[in-house]
Amino acid sequence: MLTDLKKAVLEGDEEIAQELAQKALSQGIAPMAIVNQGIIPGIQEAGELWKRNEYFHTDIILCAEAFRLAMEIIEPKLSEGERGTSGKIIIGTVAGDMHNLGKIMVNATLRGGGFEVIDLGEDVAQDMFIQKVKELSPNILGLGCYMTTTMLEMKDIINRLNKEGLRNKIKVMIGGVPTSQEYADEIGADAWGKDAFDSVEKAKKLMGVS
Amino acid sequence: MAQTGEVKKDLGSLISRGGMETLTIGAQCHDHVMYLTKSPAKKFYSDFSFNFEMGEIVGRYYNMDFPAGGFDIYDLEVEALGGKLIYGENSMPTIDFRYPLIKTPEDLKKLKMKKVDFYKDGRYPTLLKGGGIAQAGMTMVSFCSPFSLAVGLMGFPALIKAMRKQPNFAHEVFKFIVDDVLTPSIKAQNDATGALMGIGADAWACVPNLSPDEMKEWVVPYNQRVEMNAKKFGVMAMNVSGDYCEERIEKFDPKILHASFDVEVASMGGTPAIFLGMGRWQDYPLEAVRDYTEKFRKEGKTVSVTAGINARLLRDGPVDKIVDTIKRYIDTFARDHDLTIFLMNVPYDTPSDHIHAAVAATHTYGKLPIADNLDDIKLVIPKRESFDEWLKTEEGKKEPPKEPERKGLAGLLWQQMSAINKSKKFQEQYKDAKMSFLYNLTDQKYSALIIIENGTLDVKEIKSDKETLKSLNVDGLLACKAELFFDFSAGKLSKGAALIKMLTGKLKVKGMKKMQELGEIMKLLNE
């Protein structure tokens, strides 16, 4: 059954993924086993297919959606120690920017990489990022954007983190079409994710987990 | 054109005028124009006359061959349909994807019932007043291509889901977009500005967002439907779809690249025109592009290549890499392709030095004819004043040149013929000549009158009403519908077919000898 669940996630079949996740739970399979042997392998294999040019964003988006819905069923059953074993990440698209395609994929790959992800959504004000960092003490703050005007917000947010004395308590990752490693260096971010699968690798590196 | 040199109908060729001394460079540059001119975002993106004026000034500052600029082309239709946009204080408007207009088939039904007026709704009045996109030096129709507009109406994930799981619904959405949104919006622009050409923007339809197969199934057919619909009222509407934007260089795959070029060509009405857009072209192997264009070159066709400089490279530099990329483009393509350099979506705060370097590199390495060995050419990048300092100079204070308005075909012909005025041979040979030609597009509001007098060529817009046309006494005349004109001018009509059109009155040609002479004059552009 977990093989079928993996297949459903991989193929982006959200209804079947949800159904199988539910079925696995009712058959008494341990929630963590469902996640590790069914759901996560699906998104991991999608990553491999992506690297081999067999998957495109269309496939990854559907896969991410199936992953999200399957996880919605399993996550409430996980114990505290089983969640977010790689670390806690807050992500959001910066103010003035409504784009969420990249964030949807990053959200799934990060969770597939064992992170607890708190998604603040799109058009997130600086104050909201700061407030949530204070409130939730994440390990990493992930900032996304799509426009060359809104990317400037990222610099301001990092400056705010500095001002508020929070910067040395968290790592900052950035991503999105107009960003680059050079821009990450320029504004003092700790990492740049070139795509969803690169982002999870970089996040793990920042956290020192493999 | 058969008589006057082929009308070029791809973006690169449109901005690459004949008779130039160097290759040309243009830019999609709106955020940066807004930044340099310190324009308030709301005004910049809501007053297109102002937007174009600022683009013209910045284009002159950078010594570009065309006004810099552009605008938020992806959300005009959505806004007119009632979609919510976010107007940032310092950024261009963007669709609020949290509230898509179409979530269900019922939403589509409701939207179909909605009366949308592309003369009055959203920001169309200011677009129509501004005269369409001026980036190619003439009025053009602007629109968001079907796939990107579908994303704007539904959001990417929901659209993809519909394409995979509710294909009938997705097809209905695309048909609605083409027939009920794009066709009337293109028609409104044609009516208001006389524009005969349209370029659709389609950044969402690219690799790796979609696979080439998905684009062939979902993008190309609807692009062709737009083209077909618009052709009926005389507008050539093409779409810039199929851009190859693979971020990971290790994933670069020539087969996928070539398949994406197939999408580009099919979306440009079959014209061999390719667009090297937002991808990492500074790192991709350009030989793979030549491999693709070989089949066209073997058939004796000139392939148009619009070669983009990546936005992040432009912003981040270094200058050496920007220059090297342009030099490499020129060395690879300029001798046997129709090459135009294009700065892609220049970021807001791009250092001006980077753009000056790109322009200098294009004009220096791109001096025509292209040198055998570009390494023999010394590139000097001029030390330039800041934009603010430039505004205080004589050049910066100059009023933008006020060109007479040339609506419709007149603008198109002027754009491609005006360079003849630089030809010494033309000036000498025709210093005493006086002749005129009327190109009458019978289904358009405006026709074009070409006047050659005292060694100068001018093209004027002429209203296509009977009285005006009757009052003209011309040496040569060509009269037909716009669709036939474009087929005729592109050499798509055989001599036999042209004869039949003439016999049936669909094509009128008078003063054949003089028309042929005009054709000879235009050949001087290539000398």
Alpha-carbon gap: A142 to the closest alpha carbon of chain B (Å): 19
Tell whether A57 is within 8 A of chain B (Cβ).
Answer: yes
Judge residue B471's burial from the number of C-beta atoms within 10 Å of its C-beta, 0-12 exposed, 13-18 middle, 19 or more buried.
exposed
B-facing residues of A in 66-85 (CB < 8 A) are none
Q: Can you tell me the distance from the alpha carbon of A188 to that of A198, in angstroms, rounded to the nearest whole number? A: 19
Question: Could you tell me the CA-to-CA distances from B60 to B14, B56, B68, B397 in Å, in that order?
Answer: 19, 6, 8, 11
Searching chain A, which residue's CA lies closest to the CA of residue B159?
A58
Structure tokens of B292?
A: 């693709």
Tell whether A152 is within 8 A of chain B (Cβ).
Answer: yes
In the DSSP assignment, the letter for residue B310 is: P
Per-residue confidence (pLDDT) for residue B131, from 0 to 100: 60
Query: What single letter denotes the amino acid at residue B258?
Result: H
Asked if A61 and B157 come within 8 Å (Cβ–Cβ), the reply is yes
Residues across chain B: 527
- Contact indicator for B525, B423 with CB cutoff of 8 Å: yes
Structure tokens of A164?
A: 């508020």
Per-residue confidence (pLDDT) for residue B19, from 0 to 100: 59
pLDDT for B26-38, tens place per residue? 999 999 999 999 9
Alpha-carbon gap: A153 to the closest alpha carbon of chain B (Å): 11
- Contact indicator for B484, B501 with CB cutoff of 8 Å: yes
Alpha-carbon gap: B312 to the closest alpha carbon of chain A (Å): 6
Interface test with B, best of A48, A100, A149, A151 (most B CBs within 10 A): A149
Asked if A152 and B349 come within 8 Å (Cβ–Cβ), the reply is yes
Residues 6 or more apart whose Cβ sits within 8 Å of residue A180 = A192, B312, B315, B316
Helix A40-51 to helix A57-74 angle, to the nearest 10 degrees? Answer: 170
Q: Which residues of B touch A183 (CB under 8 A)?
A: 312, 315-316
Question: Could you tell me the CA-to-CA distances from B358 to B25, B61, B308 in Å, in that order?
Answer: 9, 13, 11
- Contact indicator for A87, A207 with CB cutoff of 8 Å: yes
Q: In what order do the strands lie in the sheet with B24-27?
A: B24-27, B338-343, B304-309, B273-276
Tell whether A16 is within 8 A of chain B (Cβ).
Answer: no
Residues 6 or more apart whose Cβ sits within 8 Å of residue A193 = A106, A142, A173, A174, A175, A199, A200, A202, A203
Name the CA dihedral angle for B276, B278, B283, B289, rounded to a multiple of 10 degrees. Answer: -20
Q: Which residues of B touch A122 (CB under 8 A)?
A: 97-98
Residue range A124-146: average pLDDT?
Answer: 96
Residues 6 or more apart whose Cβ sits within 8 Å of residue A203 = A86, A87, A89, A110, A113, A115, A140, A142, A173, A191, A193
Structure tokens of B287?
A: 């030989």
Structure tokens of B192?
A: 């208001």
Asked if B97 and A99 come within 8 Å (Cβ–Cβ), the reply is yes
Q: Can you tell me the distance from the alpha carbon of B107 to that of B422, in angstroms, rounded to the nearest whole number? A: 56
Judge residue A15's burial from the number of C-beta atoms within 10 Å of its C-beta, 0-12 exposed, 13-18 middle, 19 or more buried.
exposed
Question: Could you tell me the CA-to-CA distances from B130 to B37, B41, B125, B311 in Å, in that order?
Answer: 19, 17, 8, 27
Q: Can you tell me the distance from the alpha carbon of A171 to that of A204, in angstroms, rounded to the nearest whole number? A: 11
Alpha-carbon gap: B91 to the closest alpha carbon of chain A (Å): 5
Task: Count how many pairs of residues, chain A against chain B, have C-beta atoms within 8 Å.
Answer: 103
pTM metric for this prediction: 0.91
pLDDT for B377-414, tens place per residue? 999 999 999 999 999 999 999 887 677 778 889 988 88
Tell whether B248 is within 8 A of chain A (Cβ).
Answer: yes
Asked if B31 and A104 come within 8 Å (Cβ–Cβ), the reply is no
More confident residue, B490 or A27: A27
Structure tokens of B29?
A: 């540059």
The partner residue sitting opposite B88, judged by closest CB among A51, A149, A180, is A149
Of A189, A181, A118, the residue nearest A153 (C-alpha):
A189
Asked if A65 and B96 come within 8 Å (Cβ–Cβ), the reply is no
For the cut 90, the answer to whether the pLDDT of residue A174 exceeds it is: yes
Q: Can you tell me the distance from the alpha carbon of B214 to that of B144, in angstroms, rounded to the nearest whole number? A: 19
Q: In percent, how much of chain A has pLDDT > 70?
A: 100
Q: Which residues of A touch B147 (CB under 8 A)?
A: none
Structure tokens of B83?
A: 């979609």
Q: Can you tell me the distance from the alpha carbon of A94 to that of B200, in angstroms, rounded to the nearest whole number? A: 28
For chain A, the 3-state helix, strand and coil shares in percent, each to the nearest 5, are 60, 15, 30
Q: Which segments of chain B have a pLDDT < 50?
A: 1-17, 132-136
Tell whether B316 is within 8 A of chain A (Cβ).
Answer: yes
The 10 Å Cβ neighbour count of residue A137 is: 12
Give buried/exposed letters for B368-381 (b at 16+ CB in 10 A, else e): eebbeebeeeeeee
Tell whether A136 is within 8 A of chain B (Cβ).
Answer: no
- Contact indicator for A196, A109 with CB cutoff of 8 Å: yes
Among A78-87, A144-153, B224-233, the minimum mean pLDDT is found in A78-87
- Contact indicator for B64, B27 with CB cutoff of 8 Å: yes
Per-residue confidence (pLDDT) for residue B4, from 0 to 100: 37
Q: Can you tell me the distance from the alpha carbon of B326 to that of A63, in angstroms, rounded to the nearest whole number? A: 39
